[in-house]
Amino acid sequence: MTTLTFGTRLVVASHNPGKVWEIKELIAPFGLDAVSAGDLGLAEPEETETTFEGNATLKAVAAAKASGLPSLADDSGIEVHALDGAPGVYSADWAMPGKDFGRAMQRVHDELAERGAWSGPAPTANFISVLCLAWPTGETRLFRGRVDGTLVWPPRGGNGFGFDPMFVPEGATETFGEMEPAGKYAISHRTRAFAAFKRDCLEGIAAEPARPKSGRDLEGLEAAARNLSTQAELARFIASLRDDLATNGADWPVRDLTSFLGALQQAAEKVDTPDAEPRWRTLARALLAASR
């Protein structure tokens, strides 16, 4: 069986900046040299399978064969029990066009309302994450993680992305959207899938202690800007920019209000804004571009 070793170059088979950032954060302590499928210019395969395992495998195998490198792919989503498991593997499709999860959450709310599911106990749901490790030879291994919980309305919190603001995990009172990242990652479905991946594939690699990051975490900020869908998420993003300025102000090319507003004007004129993109996301991307 093929194994991973310290320094192995690994493709994260996703074009979703938020998902890529999360997976890179998980594997970084193990010395794996991670690069995203988007950074390599790999095509994004159509997700035609009907299971999380099927779609994760499809994406991982496509990236491994195209790059000649081992590849790690994730397929994840939320299953709402009163909706017979929907949206499930089609979670991202419910956010189309523009991957607007504000609309996707509204759709979940409305379909539950049509079934009277909000009139009793809180509707139950679970998140699923399946990781697939694939090699260019076609060898694959699968790892599954799950977290159960309940849904709330209206959505709460500006952290995370996707359906996080309306999901409260078992034993908690905050939604994933309200939790600080460390709290969410301690129990999330993706972390649980990664724990199984770590046990089977990284056992022989000594994890390095987490080191405080120096300088701006532009990849993390970019991931947040490109995934937010709600006003609360925008407010949290602006708070993150303020924190970044306070900590890394010397790395900002513009540090006075006049210069920043000038840079923001230029960014607003140039930023690529697909018609279906949520307006909060467009503003976040312009703010980040101005800060750079």
Confirm or deny that 222 is annotated as ligand binding: no
Q: How far is residue 292's CA from residue 290's CA, in Å, rounded to a whole number?
A: 5
Is 39 among the annotated ligand-binding positions?
no
The DSSP call for residue 210 is: P
Catalytic residue among 74, 75, 100, 244: 75
194 is in an annotated binding site: no
Instruction: Output the six-digit token pair for 264.
Output: 């923001």
* Residues 6 or more apart whose Cβ sits within 8 Å of residue 105: 155, 163, 165, 166
197 labelled ligand-binding: no
Report whether the peptide linkage leading into residue 209 is cis, meaning its omega lies within 30 degrees of zero: no
Angle between helical axes of 279-291 and 257-270 (0-180°, round to 10): 130
Q: Determine whether the annotation assigns residue 144 to a binding site.
A: no
C-alpha 162/C-alpha 109 separation (Å) is 14
Instruction: Specify the residue for token string 């956010």.
Output: 95
Is 190 marked as binding a ligand? Answer: yes
Q: Consult the annotation and say whether 81 binds a ligand.
A: no
Whether 75 has a binding-site annotation, put simply, is yes
Does 274 appear as a known binding residue?
Answer: no
Q: Is 74 annotated as a binding residue?
A: no
Say whether 18 counts as a known binding-site residue.
Answer: yes
CA 278 to chain centre: 17
Is 19 one of the annotated binding-site residues?
yes
Q: Which residues contact 265 (CB under 8 A, 6 or more apart)?
A: none
Measured distance between the N- and C-terminal CA atoms of the chain, rounded to whole angstroms: 45
14 is known to lie in a ligand binding site:
yes
Catalytic site includes residue 75:
yes
Closest CA to 21 of 221, 264, 203: 221
Q: Does 109 appear as a known binding residue?
A: no
Record the tokens describing residue 117, joined without a space. 């599911």
To the nearest 10°, report the CA torsion of 157, 158, 159, 164.
60
The token pair that represents 252 in the structure block: 């900002």
Binding-site annotation, residues for Mg(2+): 46, 75
Binding-site annotation, residues: 14-19, 46, 75-76, 161-164, 184, 189-190
Binding-site annotation, residues for substrate: 14-19, 76, 161-164, 184, 189-190
Q: Which residues are catalytic?
A: 75
